[in-house]
Structure 1
């Protein structure tokens, strides 16, 4: 066995940490998507109107965008062991709130708060990067992301059965409550079985918390620009909840939120300036610099990859149902093929990135993604169903392998900022989902798929500016000496 190979059957050392961490991520997504397979029973039990059901779906992703930024900062500051454990423990509470809800308002509060647990993905990215060398990092991060992401599919497969076992009108409550119990129990297990780094290694922390450090004036300007789409996505979600959308929020409340988002962006920009004031006045030595354009490009790529995955997974069953006149159950099973590919696709993207290079792998996968969505835009009722499903699976391979390749690069930019970089890149995936689902509400399925393909082409153009990670990145040890970390 080569030194680059991972023995996934082992439960020792770094492989043990990988297994424990992807399970934590799996559970976070298992809890986050615990409502989807039970939505019909929930709707009947709480007597929800169709607009209220749609509102719950919107609320489920609303908090995840800022949560991934915040959790990324906390991970870098306090370490993934404590952060992931607390996230699972605190995330169990909204599960119980939702399970005990007697009306729409209570359910809405539970769903909104549950979006926070969706930030769990960010924590494991930093944990895995601490334990694996660069030559194995893409593969390890791909396994972490792909196997953990399967938690949403596992929820769809198992929770209806759990609800049936408990039976009655309250079966869904027991199923959702169980996901909270699992998250709470595993938070204790995770805290007591992992460490932030291998024995003898240093956990590098950011110098300040509250905003991302950059190393140049141009990078600072780009950071402020890249923050805008995240605030715009939150404004778009507010618009959907306003009288112009599903009317959950009164007009005055929506106006207050819009003003609050503007004010929050200004305060955010000011905080980032305060953190980077010294660097902007006196740039650090070249060995300590990193290029924020690398982060910006990865953000755009995750917008197109994970953003499109979230959007397509939510609409594909309906697309198959309407295109081929299928019953909802069969359409749902066919649609699940898209998400099922995660088990293999993400690890494959990371593996190819380790073996053939980060940039060339991303270029090939992003082009494949664009071609896949172009192909899906041509699907119509004249196609054989098996061919339509094959096209969806072909497309999903490039989408999810691209996600794995993106996060094969994220930990190689600046070690002490890995959580924050992962948080921002991960948030862009949710921003992409909000954008694509909004597009879907305005255009046909064909145009929807073409828009995704077009954004992938934009991502490919940006990718031409990305630099292949090579050499070493420098971090300062507590005694003031410099540690060099290999990234090739």
Structure 2
């Protein structure tokens, strides 16, 4: 890592300041997004919740993030990361305060659902960091952004139970601890708007020609793009089913069917938007200098499905799994043990980005997926007879490859098409949430060892797909506001 760190040290103070501004914004969004998980017993006691209601809350927490990442990707490409990140932080802070003040389970569930939008914050920083760092260092920079920001979930697991029990008191402590994270987000959202800038001085912020969907460059890619949208709607339908009388009975039968209908209408609307964005290309073809392979986006989507998707699922269930598996663990100890999975983000995600910068995009991602597969196979063997030290070793080994894989994925995302980086990041990030919901849904039907083995099998399938990915080569072109074609270095 030394040479890469020296390269970052050669950058200007403004580049480094932007990186720090970005990762801390992401850090706060993850503290808010996962802040309820380590407070499970306290929240359940306050509302006399059943296990089914808690599972519903976990489902609601990630439901809105899937469409939110698509929407945020479009907005950040159009309006810039400075405005959109600030608005997201401030609005999420107020929602966090509302969640902490909830008096009924219905209110708690509503605000947890709305807080799923905060999970889209990650997309914004991908575009911002991509604007500020050169291609030869963007993998490491994006890895630092993602890794240090992702650590927000681990920080929540470490800090919030301690604050709730030791500082604020058991009865309402979880409310004050949760509200504190919301206040921090509001204050930092204002600070971010004051200090952040979309691009370095003198650089052009390229925007999509049209909003509403990705611009693709061939008819085959148009149909491929439409097909890749289907899994996102299917998993939203699965979420509705999980909340229906067939699942946790949070929704009525009529409401569930209404949601199915809404999803169909939204899909038709999105198809129309994608067609409007690409109709000129479908009629006349696109300019040769502007072409890229949508296949790259699709493979990155599935790679993030198995890397971040598995992390999202495992972080959600791991503290409770350890609490149930190892007798004698306290709530704080189980939270800290579970946080070991997310803790590796500080090192692993930057390492994955650095590997990608140094050794090649496809090779690095392939090796890391092999490690992910082996890691989950090891975790499938964890049982009550394991010594705690060996459990921590297995968890950290697995999490290193999972999160390094995430870093390798987003080392590639900013190199495909600059003006659509937000949308590509949004779709890739959404697939991470699709993976999270898919794996959590599988978890409700199978044992924990089988759950980990399913993820390992998915890792092998994605490894095969990655072999068909074309690495970004040479330069990509963009058209500035004066209509001039500019070449941007991507390798």
Q: TM-score range by the shorter chain?
A: over 0.9
Aligned length: 488
Matched position secondary structure for 1:408: helix
Matched position secondary structure for 1:73: helix
Instruction: Report how far residue 36 of structure 1 moved.
Output: 1.8
Residues 155-191 of structure 1 show CA distances to partners (whole Å, capped at 9, x for unaligned) of 2222233334233622222221211111111111000
* 2:398 paired residue number: 395
Q: 1:9 and 1:131, CA in 2 relative to 1: closer, same or farther beyond 3 A?
A: closer
* 2:147 paired residue number: 146
Matched position secondary structure for 1:215: coil
* 1:430 paired residue number: 433
Residues 119-166 of structure 1 show CA distances to partners (whole Å, capped at 9, x for unaligned) of 000000000000000010000000000000111111222223333423
Alignment pair present for 1:370 and 2:373: yes
1:293 aligns with one of 292, 295, 307? 295
Question: Matched residues in 2 for 1:345 and 1:4: separation?
Answer: 15
* 2:23 paired residue number: 22
* 1:251 paired residue number: 253
* 2:98 paired residue number: 97
Question: Matched residues in 1 for 2:480 and 2:461: separation?
Answer: 39
Instruction: Report how far residue 359 of structure 1 moved.
Output: 0.8
**1:4 and 1:135 in contact (8 A); partners too:** no
2:207 aligns with one of 205, 208, 217? 205
**1:5 and 1:136 in contact (8 A); partners too:** no
Matched position secondary structure for 2:411: coil
Question: Matched residues in 2 for 1:285 and 1:10: separation?
Answer: 35
Instruction: Report how far residue 38 of structure 1 moved.
Output: 2.1
Q: More deviation in 6-15 or 454-463?
A: 6-15
Question: Matched residues in 1 for 2:139 and 2:326: separation?
Answer: 39
**1:305 and 1:402 in contact (8 A); partners too:** yes
Instruction: Report how far residue 392 of structure 1 moved.
Output: 1.8
Question: Matched residues in 1 for 2:414 and 2:223: separation?
Answer: 22
Instruction: Report how far residue 6 of structure 1 moved.
Output: 4.5
Residues 388-446 of structure 1 show CA distances to partners (whole Å, capped at 9, x for unaligned) of 32122111111000000000000000000000000000011110011111111111222
Question: Matched residues in 2 for 1:281 and 1:326: separation?
Answer: 67
Q: 1:380 and 1:99, CA in 2 relative to 1: closer, same or farther beyond 3 A?
A: closer
Residues 9-35 of structure 1 show CA distances to partners (whole Å, capped at 9, x for unaligned) of 998210110001101111111122221
**1:436 and 1:452 in contact (8 A); partners too:** yes
Question: Matched residues in 1 for 2:44 and 2:268: separation?
Answer: 40
In structure 2, list runs of 5 or more residues that go unmatched.
none
Q: 1:327 and 1:167, CA in 2 relative to 1: closer, same or farther beyond 3 A?
A: closer
Q: More deviation in 2-11 or 261-270?
A: 2-11
Alignment pair present for 1:130 and 2:131: yes
Instruction: Report how far residue 223 of structure 1 moved.
Output: 0.7
**1:66 and 1:427 in contact (8 A); partners too:** yes
Question: Matched residues in 1 for 2:96 and 2:394: separation?
Answer: 36
Please list, as runs of the form range in 1=range in 2, the aligned pairs for 1:118-197 lying within 5 A after superposition.
118-163=119-164, 164-167=166-169, 169-197=171-199
* 2:348 paired residue number: 345
In structure 1, list runs of 5 or more residues that go unmatched.
none
Question: Matched residues in 2 for 1:7 and 1:292: separation?
Answer: 31
Question: Matched residues in 1 for 2:4 and 2:382: separation?
Answer: 44
Matched position secondary structure for 2:488: strand
2:308 aligns with one of 299, 303, 306? 306
Q: 1:160 and 1:333, CA in 2 relative to 1: closer, same or farther beyond 3 A?
A: closer
**1:72 and 1:419 in contact (8 A); partners too:** yes
Q: More deviation in 461-470 or 164-173?
A: 164-173
Please list, as runs of the form range in 1=range in 2, the aligned pairs for 1:385-424 lying within 5 A after superposition.
385-424=388-427
Question: Matched residues in 1 for 2:82 and 2:132: separation?
Answer: 13
Question: Matched residues in 2 for 1:4 and 1:325: separation?
Answer: 43
Question: Matched residues in 2 for 1:319 and 1:180: separation?
Answer: 28
Question: Matched residues in 1 for 2:391 and 2:438: separation?
Answer: 25
**2:58 and 2:316 in contact (8 A); partners too:** no
Question: Matched residues in 1 for 2:12 and 2:179: separation?
Answer: 30
* 1:384 paired residue number: 387
Question: Matched residues in 1 for 2:469 and 2:361: separation?
Answer: 10
Question: Matched residues in 2 for 1:45 and 1:450: separation?
Answer: 35
Matched position secondary structure for 2:202: coil
Kindly report the root-mean-square deviation, in angstroms, between the aligned alpha carbons of the 2 structures: 1.7
Residues 323-365 of structure 1 show CA distances to partners (whole Å, capped at 9, x for unaligned) of 4445353433322211111110000000111111111000100
1:262 aligns with one of 264, 287, 290? 264
- TM-score scaled by length of structure 1: 0.96
Question: Matched residues in 1 for 2:312 and 2:288: separation?
Answer: 39
